[in-house]
Structure 1
Amino acid sequence: MARSDVHPIHRFEPWQVFPGSFDNPPADGNFPCPPERGVAITRRTRIASLGSCFAREIKRRLIQRGFTYIAEETHHPAAVHASAAWERVYNTHCMRQIFEYSFGAWSPEVRWWRAPRSGTIQDPYRRVVLYAAEGEAEQDFARHREHSRRALASAELLILTLGLTEIWQDRHDGSVISLPAGPYVNEGGDMARYEFRVSRTAENLENLERIHALLSKHNPGCRILVTVSPVNLWATFRRDADVLSASCNSKSTLRAAADEFAAAHDNVFYFPAFEMATIYQPLLGRGFFAGGRENFHVNKPTVKFIMNHFFKWYAPSEPFTPFDEGE
């Protein structure tokens, strides 16, 4: 137990003190955390997840280890990242819209985009979900709402991965389209209708509270595990900040909102995947960035480190074998 020279009567537990500082043990590969983690799952626990790029890694590892992962719309290409065809969900505004159309009325003024060159129908609220005709889009979305509702209403644990704070918002009705900065479909709708801005802590927390209220009404027994994606922004739409500063701002804002969210509810818990990657890996003398063209992602050893801790912490009653280099 570490002692504070400034306040000698106070005794800190090792997980309360920065690893390796003064007499505290150095980082040893076991991320320090309080003994009470709040969540315990087994392979029978029904788990759903949605969020940004890192959510896909969580889904993959849960399925690999034989946990009961809720997978609706398995035929749909937009379902590969999450429990239903939500595609990647980068911001809390789009997350909130998913819960609103799953559990109630949600009718934005502009429902579909028609791409000007190809004529393809695009769902602007889900990333790169395309159709040949509007009738096909309407039918598929009606089916999707049922699948989405079923996934969220049946989950015993919901994992939300928060990604970024940059949004494009409809100037008329306030709806937010799914448009992260990146090398994606170069068509879309009338962007003059939408305003770019950076969302702030209070409104992200408000979105999370709305999600909690809807889930509490329709699935009151569900617990929520929230995390912040350690994947950096590939690019920023901001003209007043470089991409590194914009990425730091996004993650810091979401981390603050997640902390407030978890502190406000007995059934909400925070999993420090972001800290495991960006702080703890360097303490171990390791890098966490991926190589190649997508170097803003985290590398595979870091993903394995994070998910090994996930299973050690939250599934203590299940047999545990760490992910090896080949997985």
Structure 2
Amino acid sequence: MSEFRLIVKDQRTVNKYWSRFNDKSIQTIPHNPIFNRNSNIFTLGSCFAVEIREALKERGFSVFPRLDELELNTDRFRIGGLPDRENFNYYNTFSIEQEFARAVGLWQQQDDDYWQVEDNWWGGDKAFQDPYRRCVFGKTLDDVRHATRLLDSVVHNGMKAADGFLITLGLIEVWKIKHNQRVACMEPGYNEGGGLDETEFYLSDFEENVRNLEHIVEHIGVLNPNANIVFTVSPVPLGRTFTDNDVYVANMESKSLLRTAAAQVCRRHNHVHYFQSYDICNAIKNPFIEDGRHVQPDVVKMIVNGFISSFFSA
């Protein structure tokens, strides 16, 4: 098998034969220029979305949300890895759908809908956590509420400014909050956070994930009826599974289900498209760094170049 190559083709001439892929190590990408150099792209999803986001920014594209515009005050609150890394991540379709539902006014986080956790940052006895966003902590309840409002503003402004959305899907294992059945952004105890008593594990199914994706499409239609949407599946495997299955088996189920759900929704809507990040990595012999999970920089570069060549006009 020769060195793997991506080739952008007209939709009518994409490769139809496994023998050509096997002999030539070629994967074709349909040319579908729905964006241009002036497009505003909102990226959201798993950690691989961060990689694509950073690569697009480096190439001079306009990318949202503008997390660098947040007025951070680490004496009062912490938001993910900011300002060092814009890892504003959502790994499941439930959390992503909740973020869009919040933006269109379908739900509002209540003032007491936060978790009290051990203070591992400011030297006090307790701190507070926003369960719906990754690693958002406040020294006091007012501080974490302030962080939430800051994120509300920058995220929702970015959604309204965007004419294109790139959404990366990661996993199907979720943690439901017991008192309202919404879904927490992360598993209990992640990064010294809470949730052990407040949540319960739930393995979501195909129909639920399709429904979440359909709701995301509906919410984006409210924000911008003319926006194009691209779904992709993160190639990054599960770090661990909370099911009774072996992690490899659980990962295969998770990725296969999300890949199929994305395809199902894309077939229903002319303005919703699929990009083959997951498929590209599956076709490459060694796409990951030594940890076996995170994608090698040269592979990320190949994927981003393929995304741009496929969806952006010259």
TM-score, normalising length: structure 2: 0.84
Structure 1 SS opposite 2:256: helix
The aligned counterpart of 2:307 is 310
- 1:21-40, Cα deviation, whole Å (9 max, x unpaired): 7xx86224xx2134xx4343
The aligned counterpart of 1:278 is 282
The aligned counterpart of 1:57 is 51
- 1:80-127, Cα deviation, whole Å (9 max, x unpaired): 79xxx8821000000011011111142467611111454111111111
How far residue 69 of structure 1 moved from its aligned partner, in angstroms, is 1.5
Structure 2 SS opposite 1:192: coil
Structure 2 matches for 1:223-238, cutoff 5 A? 223-238=228-243
- 1:42-98, Cα deviation, whole Å (9 max, x unpaired): 2211111010010011111111111122242313574779xxx88210000000110
How far residue 205 of structure 1 moved from its aligned partner, in angstroms, is 0.9
Identify the match of residue 172 of structure 2 among 165, 184, 195: 165
The aligned counterpart of 1:129 is 136
Q: Does 1:262 align with 2:259?
A: no
Count of matched residue pairs? 287
Counterpart of 1:97, as a letter, is: Q
The aligned counterpart of 2:192 is 186
The aligned counterpart of 1:7 is none
User: 2:136·2:147 contact (CA, 8 Å) conserved in 1?
Assistant: no
Structure 2 SS opposite 1:226: strand
Q: Does 1:253 align with 2:257?
A: yes
- 1:137-186, Cα deviation, whole Å (9 max, x unpaired): 222322322222211111111000000110011233210001248x8323
Closer, same or farther in 2 for the Cα pair 1:187/1:73, shift >3 Å? Answer: closer
Bigger RCO of structures 1 and 2 (CA < 8 A, at least 6 apart): 2
Counterpart of 2:225, as a letter, is: P
- 1:205-236, Cα deviation, whole Å (9 max, x unpaired): 11111111111122111110110000001111
User: 2:209·2:258 contact (CA, 8 Å) conserved in 1?
Assistant: yes
User: 2:43·2:65 contact (CA, 8 Å) conserved in 1?
Assistant: no
The aligned counterpart of 1:288 is 287
**CA-atom RMSD, angstroms?**
2.4
The aligned counterpart of 2:25 is 27
Aligned partners of 2:177, 2:279: CA distance in 1, in Å?
A: 33
User: 1:204·1:257 contact (CA, 8 Å) conserved in 2?
Assistant: yes
State the percentage of identical aligned residues: 30
Structure 2 matches for 1:187-226, cutoff 5 A? 187-189=193-195, 191-226=196-231
Counterpart of 2:164, as a letter, is: L
Counterpart of 2:50, as a letter, is: R
TM-score, normalising length: structure 1: 0.81
Show structure 2 runs of 5+ residues with no match. Answer: 1-11, 73-77, 120-124
Structure 1 SS opposite 2:166: strand
Counterpart of 2:145, as a letter, is: E
